[in-house]
Amino acid sequence: MNTKKVRGTIGILTGGGDVPGLNPAIRAITIRAIREGYRVVGIRRGWGGMIDIVRDKKVDNSANFVELTEDIVNKAGRTGGTFLHSSRTRPSHVPGKHVPDHLKDKYNNEMNDLTPEVLKNIDFIGLDYLIPIGGDDTLSYSVRLYQEGVKVVAIPKTMDNDVPGTDYCIGFSTCVTRTIAMTNLLRTSAGSHERVLVIEVFGRYAGFTALLPTMAGSANRCVIPEYKFKIEHLTELLVEDRKRNPSNYSVVLVSEGATFEGVDMMFSNMEKDMFGHAKLGGIGDAVSAKIKDVSPQFNKGQRVETIFQHLGYLVRSGDPDAIDSIVPMAYGNLALDLVLKGIHGRLVILKNGRYDNMPVDIVTSTKKFVNIEKHYNTDRLRPVYESFIDKPLFLI
């Protein structure tokens, strides 16, 4: 009989959009924690699972949380996505229609703060530490919990790479790798038909996922959320790029949050999630259409045809690349290092090529965007990289 005393219980959850690298992070945390004598509980569906728990030992809560073992995490540790599932739930702002049935009598406003229930559920599960893995939305709520007394150690995840305080977020490398690969695949069609290739990529407020592939040579130009561009100027540049190319085509990457003069941020529908975000979509199509309309001005009266492709979930699905296999393993172990020292209220980070940690409230105290002055040429609509001395791995 195993009489070894459990040192405590650690909860793990993944919130927001899926990215490759989440399962390796869960695996790293779980294996190290178990070997250090901790019990590990996986919260299903991010903060969604945390508000849906029924605090009754006789009730089956397996849809909301599960005890993790080495066997469970080893099976998923090399795969993409998150086997714990995810959601865009924000417990401090839950619309009445999304309040769990067993709480509807108590919370019946148009918008409800279920944080008191989350705190009770943390006690019900018996969590001593909580390790949320997510972007600035998911982690902003972890700041709230930390302020309420929960011992939080957070891990940054988002393919947009826009969590403040860290140079790297899980998912970013795979996103850039896939964007480069698929852009290069699409070049054959663009070249065959002598067109301008317009590719829409993720990036609501920050343009890193368009800037980095362009810096790597995958595109002639990129347009990003941080700078409202002129469609005529973009078209002129792309027509010139096309003329200089022996295969007579050119390529532009368009961040989903980009805007041009006369057109604001575009949405595929206006239904908002609990963090106030409507689903973006359509700017790439609009750019593609306008380029065709405007192109005769810069091509001796002849219209240049375009090819438009929205990469969407293709860049966030599937297996992680090397960096998104290694960094999550390191982040998970960094989180356990803090737990073992009794340290909490921290965000594990990569800064200037070194692993470290910093106060978790950095997530809510600032924002992370492309520095236009340093890294983006607004005249050439492409990245600036004059010197690489003392720059971090991904430069920006």
Is residue 336 packed enough to be buried (19+ CB in 10 Å), middle (13-18) or exposed (0-12)? Answer: buried
Q: Which amino acid is at 207?
A: G
160 has catalytic annotation = yes
Backbone angles phi, psi at 136, to 5 degrees: -65, -30
Distance CA 199, CA 53 (A): 42
Distance of CA 200 to the CA centre of its chain: 16
Selected catalytic residue, list 160, 162, 167, 324: 160
CA distance 207 to 229: 13
User: Angle at which helices 22-35 and 323-340 pack, to 10 degrees?
Assistant: 30
Residue pair 158/147 in contact (Cβ under 8 Å)? The answer is: no
Nearest Cα to 171, choosing from 212, 140, 141, 200?
A: 212
Is residue 173 a contact partner of residue 323, using CB atoms and an 8 Å limit? yes
Residue type at position 91: P
Detail the DSSP E strand segments found in the chain: 8-14, 38-43, 65-67, 94-95, 111-112, 129-134, 153-156, 196-201, 221-223, 250-255, 267-272, 278-280, 306-310, 346-351, 354-359, 376-377, 382-383
Tokens found for residue 166: 């860290």
Tokens 């860049």 locate to: 315
Helices (H) and strands (E) in the chain, counts: 12, 17
Looking at this protein, which amino acid is placed at residue 162? Answer: D
Buried b (16+ CB within 10 A) or exposed e, 86-103: bbbbbbbbbeeeebbeeb
Q: Which residues are catalytic?
A: 160
